[in-house]
Structure 1
Amino acid sequence: MISDNLHYFESQLQGTKARLVAVTKTHPVALLQEAYDAGGRLFGENKVQELVAKQPELPADIEWHLIGHLQTNKVKYVAPFVHTIQSIDSLKLLQEIERQAAKHGRVIQGLLQFHIAAEETKFGLSLAEAEEILESEAYRSMRHVQLTGVMGVATNTDDEQQLRREFRELRGYFEHLKARYFAQQPAFREISMGMSSDYRLALEEGSTLIRVGSAIFGARNYGAVS
């Protein structure tokens, strides 16, 4: 079942630049192993505690993305192994990622998270805040963080026009930052947007990473996560 779902989404991405992030929150290691056995290698986790518990139980070649809000005091737990932190929303967080990655002699990739949804509860930067980070001396001196693109969480709505507006807004931020700050950096290429319910619209608007959980693993189980 999981293998069928995974292969379905992979088939949907044929001919696009997008990759699939299998979102694993609340799902047990056994189901993640099924996804791995079906060819999945890019997994996204929302919570540090779950990520740290699951990572040692699964094959070492998984590319782990942290996609949930990250507190600075928890960076140290994922710094030894996380590939990409998709939810960078402050200079303070970037500085801590730099510090912890340096301790492990690693470069951690990151996406700047923008606030594109109508809901105030969602996290994310404004364009002005992102530019302030990118123009700071602190950011320019970093050697252990590589920004590779942008991420956003759209409004939870069935209104396709609103979703398109929000996805286009995020793509616009990406194009602006690419032209102004990353024109000579081919690694800055990711636009992480779109989930199980709206990924088709996100792909049409230029997504390079879609984050799909329930449509692969089934309904979330908020009980056991071991």
Structure 2
Amino acid sequence: MSSSAAVFDGVAATALRSVLHRVQLAAEKSGRRADEIRVVAVSKTKPAAVLRQVYDAGHRCFGENYVQEIVEKAPQLPEDIEWHFIGNLQSNKVKPLLSAIPNLAMVESVDDEKIANRLNTVVSSIGRKPLKVLLQVNTSGEESKSGVEPSGCVELAKHVSLDCPNLEFCGLMTIGMLDYSSTPENFKTLANCRAEVCKALGIPEEKCELSMGMSADFELAIEMGSTNVRIGSTIFGPREYPKKQST
């Protein structure tokens, strides 16, 4: 490992500790304990060696947006990691994802019955334990965003809970605005969806997670009830995309 990589890795571990401290303060403001908030460290474009440094700092929950990345990284890292898939998931990628990642803990981005049905079928066919899922809700109304409309939340939640025995419905997720930060209105919309879903399913709201908040807005999200925040650049630094070769 180069010295520059080692320095960066140390920075990531230090940044994690800072994030966890900020989570603790925001949790206290919301009247909860820090251990009631899950921090998903989203390592998009970062190599497994950098994730390992954050793992060595004591963190165990990591997330990825792309199937190819998680399939490449997960085998290089310890098996006690709790992986979350948080990106848009296509039906043809479900089997490669589930087959390659036995320690995949949750898919946070189920946004229609088709993908729910595909996940349910593949979980059964490979014989793994039921898969935890969140329903992705488009709270900002932007066409560029994936997610079920808020008005469709109850129907989709019923489908997953009643018709997909190999999936475990755990709650709702939203991404927020185009710049990946959300307004209080986005968070309130998701909380309202949770209230409707819980009433329809007859479950207490504390049994239904809210995955909302990222690097730019996770403290506000926690104060408004988030149980799961997805932190990328604040821990790992800016994303690193391959430079295009000049012709």
Q: Is the 8 A contact 1:193 1:202 kept in 2?
A: yes
Q: Which moved more, 1:69-78 or 1:10-19?
A: 10-19
Equivalent position SS for 1:112: strand
| Residues 92-140 of structure 1: per-residue CA shift (max 9 Å, x gap) | 100110111112222110000000124320111123323223444x852
Q: Which moved more, 1:35-44 or 1:117-126?
A: 117-126
Q: Does 1:176 align with 2:186?
A: no
Counterpart CA distance in 1 for 2:180 and 2:95 is 38
Q: Which moved more, 1:12-21 or 1:108-117?
A: 12-21
Q: 1:158 to 1:130 in 2, by over 3 A?
A: closer
Q: How does 1:155-166 map to 2 (within 5 A)?
A: 155-156=177-178, 163-166=183-186
Q: Does 1:31 align with 2:50?
A: yes
Q: Does 1:131 align with 2:131?
A: no
Equivalent position SS for 2:88: coil
Q: How does 1:57-72 map to 2 (within 5 A)?
A: 57-72=76-91
Selected match of 1:2 from 1, 12, 20: 12
- Which amino acid counterpart does residue 102 of structure 1 have in structure 2? S
- Which amino acid counterpart does residue 116 of structure 1 have in structure 2? T
RMSD of the alignment, in Å?
A: 2.1
- Which amino acid counterpart does residue 64 of structure 1 have in structure 2? W
Match of 1:190 in 2: 209
Structure holding more helix per residue: 2
| Residues 153-182 of structure 1: per-residue CA shift (max 9 Å, x gap) | 1114599xx700111111111122122215
Q: Does 1:154 align with 2:176?
A: yes
> Structure 2 unaligned runs (5+)?
1-10, 25-32
Match of 1:20 in 2: 39
Deviation at 1:222, TM superposition (A): 1.1
| Residues 8-64 of structure 1: per-residue CA shift (max 9 Å, x gap) | 111222234211100011011110001100111110100001111111000001110
Q: Which moved more, 1:9-18 or 1:39-48?
A: 9-18
Q: Is the 8 A contact 1:95 1:139 kept in 2?
A: no
Q: Is the 8 A contact 2:37 2:229 kept in 1?
A: yes
Q: 1:55 to 1:182 in 2, by over 3 A?
A: farther
Counterpart CA distance in 1 for 2:63 and 2:47 is 13
Equivalent position SS for 2:93: helix
Q: Which runs of 4+ in 1 moved over 6 A?
A: none
Counterpart CA distance in 2 for 1:182 and 1:61 is 33
Q: Is the 8 A contact 1:66 1:87 kept in 2?
A: yes
Q: Does 1:102 align with 2:124?
A: yes
Q: 1:185 to 1:102 in 2, by over 3 A?
A: farther
Q: Is the 8 A contact 1:157 1:163 kept in 2?
A: no
Match of 1:114 in 2: 137
Counterpart CA distance in 2 for 1:28 and 1:158 is 23
Match of 2:3 in 1: none
> Structure 1 unaligned runs (5+)?
none
Equivalent position SS for 2:183: helix
If the length of structure 1 is used for normalisation, what is the TM-score?
Answer: 0.90
- Which amino acid counterpart does residue 172 of structure 1 have in structure 2? N
Deviation at 1:215, TM superposition (A): 0.6
Larger Rg: 2
Match of 1:87 in 2: 109
Equivalent residue pairs, number: 220
Equivalent position SS for 1:153: coil
